[in-house]
Amino acid sequence: MPFFYYFDPTYILVVIGLLISVWAQISVQSTFNKYSRMRISRGFTGADAARQVLSSGGVNDVTVKSIRGSMTDHYDPRDNSISLSETVGGISSAAAIGVAAHEAGHALQHAEGYGPIKLRMSIIPVCNFASGMAMPLFLLGFLFSSWNPETNFGLLMMQAGIIAFSIAVFFQVVTLPVEFNASRRAMAALEASGAYTDEELYGARKVLRAAAMTYVAALAVSLLQVLRLVILSNSNRRR
């Protein structure tokens, strides 16, 4: 048989997803590097910015600590702490204050009981389980349907895999407003502090926008994957 008989046209969706992911990662890394070179005139570090944001919301029980690595910053609601990486916590740059303030924005969300973040926390166990089961279910269903096309069992397994994957995608949908809201809170607090110039705030905002686009890109890639699974399932059904 000719070579093109084996070509799966849905790989085009995989390539598109890969390009989106690479673009988002390059964008956030280049933006972070650029504004890491913009020093803060008053010498405030990322840790200082995080504390400023926390103070603006009247939150005084969050620990700000250092961790190793680069761009490994995160807020942990389990011990109510903000962990700032070596390229953020002790660094005085527009990139550092933006990233640190964003994590403090998550702490403000938890202190307030912000709806979307409560929803995200509540669905994590289900979404983790669904994410782990999605591809095994789909692949087993695809193989079973190929071996025994006269039964619907394989198709049902594929559909179950698609549903499981869609549940995991829902987690990413919920994540978007959480991340955008944390950045909005962060920038509002930094602006209100009066501690930064317009240029420094612009740099911090650019870093946060680039970081936010990684979440948008991840959602786009997941939606392309769902579309691919649906196409494969439908093509297998028509055999």
What pLDDT, on a 0 to 100 scale, did the predictor assign at position 7?
53
Express each pLDDT in 191-222 by its tens digit.
999 999 999 999 999 999 999 999 999 999 99
Every domain of the chain and the residues it spans: 10-237
Q: In the prediction, which pLDDT does 234 show?
A: 83
Pairing status of strand 81-84 against strand 74-76: antiparallel
> What values do phi and psi take at 63, rounded to 5?
-90, 130
Task: DSSP for 162-208, please give it.
Answer: HHHHHHHHHHHHHHHHHHHHHHHHHHHHHHHHT-S-HHHHHHHHHHH
Q: Specify whether 86 is catalytic.
A: no
Contacts of 108 (CB under 8 A, 6+ apart): 53, 54, 57, 59, 114, 182, 185
**In whole angstroms, what is the distance from residue 177 CA to residue 185 CA?**
12
- The whole-number mean pLDDT for each consecutive block of 10 residues of the chain, a chain of 239 residues, reads 52 90 94 96 96 94 92 92 94 96 96 94 93 92 79 87 94 95 96 95 96 93 93 73
In DSSP notation, 20-57 reads HHHHHHHHHHHHHHHHHSSB-TT---HHHHHHHHHHHT
What's the pLDDT score for residue 217?
94
Specify the pLDDT at position 2.
38
Alpha carbons within 13 angstroms on the beta-carbon side of residue 70 total 7
The confidence score (pLDDT) of residue 1 equals 37
**Which of the following is catalytic: 103, 112, 191, 199?**
103
